[in-house]
Chains A and B, each alone.
Chain A
Amino acid sequence: MFTNWRKKSAEPAVSSDMLSKQRRYNSLVKALHADIFRYAYWLSGDKHVAEDITQETFLRAWKALDSLKDDKAAKAWLITILRRENARRFERKQFDYSDVEQDTLEDNISNSSEDQTDQYLIRRQISRLDIEYREPLLLQLIGGFSGDEIAELMELNRNTVMTRLFRARNQLKVLLEKSEVRGQSNG
């Protein structure tokens, strides 16, 4: 009785508010879920964990959606939530997922078998990269963030970020050249 009365008077304003929030959320999901999922995957090394983290991230994003003022900042905002969720995962239980999946990385994109082995190797090397080098590279390549933005997201200074990016590419380049040479000598 009391609730009905309350609903009647409050409903129109509330529902239009909710509708626009819902629309905003839906477009956020559509536009960014792939990047967020991939980022979570390369952070955790496991598709299921990545999906869980993505779910948690978007759920938290929904609850806090009113605090996102600028839609241009949405990606950085989501990444911040995601990094926090990922850290929380390690607080809960100390599993090293990256060990589990490294050798069974899935690949559904490349077509030719040559591409496939190539990509497989690259993926292996990326996931073997130290997390402190891997993460800035992910932010640069998946997120498309600048050095300053990465520094802000990771709460590091810009020089540290640039050094890590340098080392990440350097290591990958060396590792890939080495494995190519090995591949050639084996074949």
Chain B
Amino acid sequence: MDELKFRRQAYENPYNQDADFLQQIKAKPENQALVNELKHLDAKLCSALKISVPEDLADKLILRQQLQQHHKQRRRTGFLMAMAASIAFAVGISFSLLRLGPIDLAEHALAHVNHESVALHLDQNVDFKQVNARLASLKNFGNAKFIQQPGKVYFSSYCDFQGVKSLHLVLQGEQGKVTLFIVPLEKRMVLDQTFADSQYQGIGFETADAFILIVGEDKSDLNYVKDEISNIFI
């Protein structure tokens, strides 16, 4: 190793541990002196570089990170809340829009009978005055009521026709039980004269105050009940 290369290496890093370099230090006293001098310089530089660090810096760094983390978490919860709110909003809007569409009463009546088959097995033996009381509480409904008992009434309850509160009755027909729906008049409703599915048949008609739907298994029962209703439901 020549002199120049040695000097360069000493200046590059006086703590160089290469065998060549260490040997060169041993070889000449002036090399040793140069390296010592440079090590001394390094020591001075190192202590000069060690400027004082603000005492609370470490705490500040941790605090800042934790605040940031906290904000992020809050932002995320806020975001989720906003998402939940907008989903709820969208669902609400679409439901109310759906309700504005035309309602097929016939289809709904059949679905209702099929779904609530338990109504056909109950025997509450309802008095027509009770039925009238229920009729009176329907909204947008005139003064129509039963003027006498329409045969035996097995079951009576409110039900919902796409948001319209209606009355659901089960009456005794000539042959079997017949389901009767009384739905307050509303413009967007569509009513077929006759309808049917695989099990039930139904007829529908309109009185001055309400849509009447009659659903049963036997066609003759339907007409029997229709006649009866026409006479006593005024």
Contacts and interface: CB of A to CB of B under 8 A. Distances in A.
A18 to B, nearest CB: 8
Interface in A104-121: 106-110, 118-119
Nearest to B88: A2
Interface string A124-143: 00100000000001101110
Nearest to A50: B51
B44 interface: yes
A66 to B, nearest CB: 14
Interface size class of A (residues with CB under 8 A): 35 or more
User: Chain B's interface: helix, strand, loop or mixed, by majority?
Assistant: helix
Contacts of B220: none
B65 A165 contact: no
A37 B57 contact: yes
Given A41-B51, A59-B65, A118 B44 contact: yes
A26 interface: yes
B84 A2 contact: yes
Interface in B40-67: 41-42, 44-54, 57-58, 60-62, 64-65
B191 interface: no
B13 A165 contact: yes
A3 interface: yes
Interface stretch (A68-76, A82-90, A167-175): A167-175
B48 to A, nearest CB: 4
Given A1-B84, A41-B51, A138-B49, 14 more contacts: A29-B61, A33-B58, A38-B50, A47-B54, A51-B54, A55-B61, A110-B47, A118-B44, A123-B48, A141-B49, A166-B11, A169-B11, A169-B12, A176-B41
Interface of A: 1-3, 6, 25-26, 29-30, 33-34, 37-38, 41-42, 47, 51, 54-55, 58-59, 62, 106-110, 118-119, 122-123, 126, 137-138, 140-142, 147, 162, 165-166, 169-170, 172-173, 176
